Structure 1
Amino acid sequence: MKPLRDVAERWLAVPDQFDRFTRFLRDNGLLSITRNVIGLMVISMGLTILLKRLGTQSSQVISFPLDLIIGVLAIIGGVALPKLATTRERSYQFVIAGDLAIAIIVLTEANLEQRLMGSLVFGLVGSYIAFFHNVRAQIWHLSFSTVVIIVASIGVFTDAPTTAFDVLGRIIFAISLITVMPLLTQIALALLSNDAQSSELDPLTDLLNRRGLTRRTSELVRSKSRPGQSLLVVVIDIDRFKHFNDTYGHDVGDRVILRTANRLTEWARPDAAVARVGGDEFVVVQIMPLAAVGELLSRIHGVMNGSLVEPRSTTSIGIAIHNGLWSDTDAMDAGVDELHRLADSAMYESKRLGGDRVHTIVMTSP
């Protein structure tokens, strides 16, 4: 039972994945297409509601035409959806509006079989949540859907004859259909996400590895679109690291690596990419206002080399800085590669001079 509980706890701990999945779609040129497809689905739902009422004169439990109003609103929302800004808050509003609209349509329908068919649309909302949000949102959605299905299956507000077996059959059928596929999708995506994330992390320090650094650097440099922003690449190497392993053993060597990783995390800005790219080599990539660069650089030597904790370790640090903007994507990619090369060269210059020092190079655009 413990492994199952551990899996459940990890699954519940998965953060909301709206930003990650949206970024994935955007990076692969699929965001606009996805939003258009979702919009078309919403429009089709609205048209289905209107045609059902206008074509068959569906029996409603109230005289006020709530279904027609929801159908029209769904069409308007489906048209507007691709044009609205993509935010997590609006995504949750979309989920809540969808659940409420389905509940109203289902509960105002007098025919029990039509209620059952309408309740299956909850499964589409669940599938959307599986891709864009997390299991906690899924649980809230399924709890709400289950209550609506139970009320609808009992036959509240209708005179249709029903038995306990009919009610139980409807409830089991509907809940099974709206639950199984979204939950399976959510589990599969969570596992894939965890595998992808773990493949980008260094197992000892939980910092990014080379693969994770490449992805995160790409995200950072594409956000450097305003004047007055600086891009920093910092390369750090632990001085005489082999001495720690040879003298104290690999356990102490690992502690020195972890201590260096913690110092780097303490020094870097919260949005920086901090990576361990080799046995004792680290890289930090960060974007910040030009006016803040001096203060940050003034602290790095003290943070990285000021501790007297035994065994004392120092680092050789190389920093490359780019101010301004690149002309296009190709120039940006080439510029980032050059910054890494310059920072690496600066680090080796610090090491050549005896270590325990910082060497900085400022790169100017051609």
Structure 2
Amino acid sequence: MPSPVIASEGHSSWQTLHEWFNEPHDYEWIKHQRSGRAIIPIFRTLLGLMTVIFGLSAFYKLIGPDTPPTTPGKALSVFMICMCVAIAACWFTQPFPGRRGLLAFGIFADLGIAAAVLLVPDRSSGTFGCIVFAVTGTFATLFVSARWLVAHVVWSTTVTTVVFVLAYFQGEVDITTLLARGTVLFGAVTLVPIFAHLTWRTLYRDAQYSDRDPLTGLFNRRGLEGAVGDLFESARDDSSSLAFIVVDIDKFKTVNDLHGHAEGDHVIRRTANRLSTHLGERGVIARTGGEEYLAVIAGDPESTTLLIEGINAALSDCSDAIPTTVSVGAVMMTAESKAWSGGTSAILAATNVADSMMYQAKAAGGNTIRSAQI
């Protein structure tokens, strides 16, 4: 279960940068985010086109007046063209890559651009070519960690500096023109990627945690909607059963009245942790009210029923400093159920029935389970 989200207060700029630099990066975010899946084909197409443009640029350089003067340089150009064709084909035909694929593409692009701008005989053209590092900087902003982005920035800034020094000593461009170009490139190649990555990761972090309950780290209602929708579709494709389980802590108002809200929060977190541990990775769990939780789990009916029957024992312990019990309402939607034909509207119907079952359990005195099948 994710840790509760605690907002950072009073952080200095250096602390913010330190957290950004050391933050773990989710290379699979685009596959996990429900709202992001629709743009995967767009990203693949754009990255494929970018690779094709790299290949065409290398091809035009090879056949034009700026072709590398040495045989090794020409061979390297041919190699880069062939690699661009192969990588572009992968972007257009293969699934979106994970960590290794994304890092490999970033390294390939940075090395290829460096080779192109360093091998071109006309150093003035090389200074213009360095702007392509801004394109790979955009890629790094979206798809790699802060540490890899910094490595890209250091590499591209170093290569750009070398190209400008070589252009200066070649003597075909005056110093003021070089300084003007260099100033623009410094912003585009060095500063913009870092600023964009820092901003993007901050916004992404806020968006990622907006679907989580800050006290327990479980999904809130907003996060639950998308997660259950995904689970529903997956279970339907796999012909699995779904169980909708509503759990409510018995007599929770008494806990707050006798022990205070701080202890009440402790009981809520304790129950959330135990529920997550008991159900494991079988589905999704949300805190849907003050002391109420909704779990939706997929699997075969037999093992799912055993999990449901074990909830009371898993969540209650008489040796707790503040012992509590729970009322549980559960609804099983088997693979053969006609409710599947209702599509995602079946989710709302099943949740309402499970909630009604929970109130029946509470009316029976609590610390019990009431279940139904639809």
Displacement of 1:307 = 4.3
Matched positions, count: 361
Structure 1 equivalent of residue 60 of structure 2: 51
Instruction: Pick closer, same or farther for the CA change 1:328–1:176 going to 2, 3 Å.
Output: farther
Given that 2:24 and 2:145 are in contact with CA atoms closer than 8 Å, whether structure 1 keeps it comes out as yes
Q: Distance in 2 between matches of 1:327 and 1:43?
A: 50
Structure 1 residue ranges without an equivalent (≥5): none
CA distance in 1: counterparts of 2:93 and 2:367, whole angstroms? 54
Where does residue 205 of structure 2 map in the other structure? 194
Aligned to 2:46: 37
CA distance in 1, matches of 2:272, 2:118: 57
**2:44·2:96 contact (CA, 8 Å) conserved in 1?**
no
Alignment of 1:302-317 (within 5 A): 302-317=313-328
**8 Å Cα contact 2:340/2:346 also seen in 1:** no
Instruction: Check 1:6–1:273 CA distance in 2 against 1; reply closer, same or farther (3 A cut).
Output: farther
Listed as ranges, the matches of 1:240-259 within 5 Å are 240-259=251-270
Q: Kindly state the Cα deviation for residue 236 of structure 1 after the two structures are TM-superposed.
A: 0.8
Alignment of 1:175-254 (within 5 A): 175-227=186-238, 229-254=240-265
Q: Give the alignment partner of residue 334 of structure 1, picking from 345, 355, 373.
A: 345
Given that residues 242 and 334 in structure 2 are in contact (C-alpha distance below 8 angstroms), is that contact kept between their aligned partners in structure 1? Answer: yes
- 1:327, distance to aligned residue in structure 2 (A): 8.8
- 1:67 pairs with one of 77, 89, 92: 77
Tell me if 1:101 matches 2:112. Answer: yes
Listed one character per residue, the Cα deviations across residues 69-125 of structure 1 (whole Å, up to 9, x for unaligned) are 312431342244121111213222222221222222223223322222222212211
Deviates more, 1:212-221 or 1:106-115: 106-115
By how many angstroms is 1:314 displaced?
0.8
2:25 partner SS: coil
| Contact 1:201/1:212 (<8 A) preserved | yes
Change (3 A) 1:119 1:289: farther
- One-letter amino acid matched to 2:322: P
Residues of 1 paired with 2:102 and 2:38: CA distance? Answer: 19
- Identify the residue that residue 280 of structure 2 maps to in structure 1: 269
Aligned to 1:12: 21
Q: What secondary structure does 1:235 align onto? A: strand
Q: Is the 2:34–2:226 contact (alpha carbons within 8 Å) kept by the matching residues of 1?
A: no
2:284–2:296 contact (8 Å) kept in structure 1: yes
- Residue 3 of structure 1 aligns to which amino acid in structure 2? S
**TM-score, normalised relative to structure 1:** 0.86
- Per the alignment, do residues 63 and 90 of structure 1 end up closer, same or farther by CA in structure 2, a change over 3 Å counting? closer
Select 1:350's aligned residue among 361, 364, 367: 361
Q: Provide the rounded CA distance (Å) in 2 between the counterparts of 1:148 and 1:359.
A: 68
Of residues 116, 130, 133 in structure 1, which corresponds to 2:141?
Answer: 130
Q: Secondary structure at the match of 1:155?
A: helix
Q: CA RMSD in A?
A: 3.1
Identify the residue that residue 78 of structure 1 maps to in structure 2. Answer: 88
For 2:343, what is the secondary structure of its paired residue?
helix
**Cα contact 1:326–1:332 (8 A) shared by 2:** no
Q: Deviations over 1:161-194 (max 9, x none)?
A: 599x79x957665443212222222122222212
The range that moved more, 333-342 or 48-57, is 48-57
1:259-298 maps to which residues of 2 (within 5 A)?
A: 259-270=270-281, 272-290=283-301, 292-298=303-309
**SS of the residue aligned with 1:319?**
strand
Shift of 1:330: 6.8
Partner of 1:144: 155
Deviation string 1:263-305 (CA, Å, 9 cap, x unpaired) is: 1222222363221111111112233355642443343221112
Taking only the aligned residue pairs, the percentage that are identical comes to 26
Aligned-partner residue type, residue 286 of structure 1: I
Aligned-partner SS, 1:56: coil
Residue ranges of structure 2 left out of the alignment (5+ in a row)? 1-9
Q: Deviations for 1:114-140, whole angstroms, at most 9, x for unmatched residues?
A: 222222212211211212233222122
**2-side partners of 1:259 and 1:315: how far apart?**
12
Q: Which moved more, 1:105-114 or 1:341-350?
A: 105-114
Kept in 2: contact 1:269–1:286 (CA 8 A): no
Superposition TM-score, scaled by structure 2 size: 0.84
CA 1:202/1:81 → structure 2, altered by over 3 Å: closer, same or farther?
same
The residue type equivalent to 1:272 in the other structure is: G
Match of 2:312 in 1: 301
